[in-house]
């Protein structure tokens, strides 16, 4: 088997007995890294420390992950302007935090006869949030409520966005303006 030291140095090809003896002398474990290689590769290491470091890495990776949650805001077809603005601001906050937002519109009693009021309200919400969110699930009627799901728009890198806007602003084939020549220095009087 090919043997690798704790610090990564190659110790060459050794027999199993020699490798075990070296591991015992160094007070470390003999760990098989690549069993399918020809010859198999083993490493001298403290396996307990190795597992501990791997667990720490996994834990750090989990801590850095952002859990996306689905937050819900409920409307009614008769939601007044003040309440609408407050709920809209809450939706903006949810989307800016990176969470998805579920907009639920509940109909009661005779309101079911005028679903177009609810559709107009959801369309207004969609238009107001068009700058920061995208509709993931278009409004659909489920029993007595209409549900629409919004997701935050993907953030574009600042340098990339500027290049795209400059290219869009200049029409194709348009002649470039000549650059102004520098001003001559004023002569003293």
**Block means of pLDDT (10 residues each) for the chain, length 189 residues?**
87 88 88 88 90 91 80 87 91 88 89 85 89 87 88 65 49 51 54
Residues 6+ apart with CB under 8 A from 108: 76, 144
Residues 6+ apart with CB under 8 A from 109: none
Detail the DSSP E strand segments found in 132-182: 133-142, 145-152
Judged by DSSP in three states, 172 sits in coil
Q: Give the C-alpha separation, 111 to 95, whole Å.
A: 29
pTM of the predicted structure, to 2 decimals: 0.50
pLDDT in the model for residue 79: 83
* Selection from 119, 122, 80 nearest residue 102 by Cα: 122
């Amino acid at each position: 088997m090919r043997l690798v030291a704790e610090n990564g140095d190659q110790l060459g090809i050794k027999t199993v007995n020699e490798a075990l003896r070296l591991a015992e002398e160094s007070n470390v474990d003999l760990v098989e890294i690549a069993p399918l290689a020809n010859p198999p590769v083993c490493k001298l290491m403290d396996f307990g420390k190795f597992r501990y470091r791997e667990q720490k890495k996994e834990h750090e990776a989990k801590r850095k992950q952002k859990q996306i949650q689905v937050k819900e805001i409920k409307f009614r077809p008769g939601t007044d302007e003040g309440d609408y603005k407050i709920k809209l601001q809450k939706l903006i906050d949810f989307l800016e935090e990176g969470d998805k937002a579920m907009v639920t519109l509940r109909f009661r009693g005779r309101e079911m006869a005028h679903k177009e009021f609810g559709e107009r309200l959801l369309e207004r919400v969609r238009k107001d949030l068009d700058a920061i969110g995208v509709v993931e699930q278009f409004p659909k009627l489920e029993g007595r409520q209409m549900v629409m799901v919004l997701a935050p728009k993907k953030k574009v890198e600042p340098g990339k966005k500027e290049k795209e806007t400059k290219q869009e602003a200049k029409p194709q084939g348009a002649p470039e303006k000549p650059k102004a020549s520098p001003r001559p220095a004023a002569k003293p009087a």
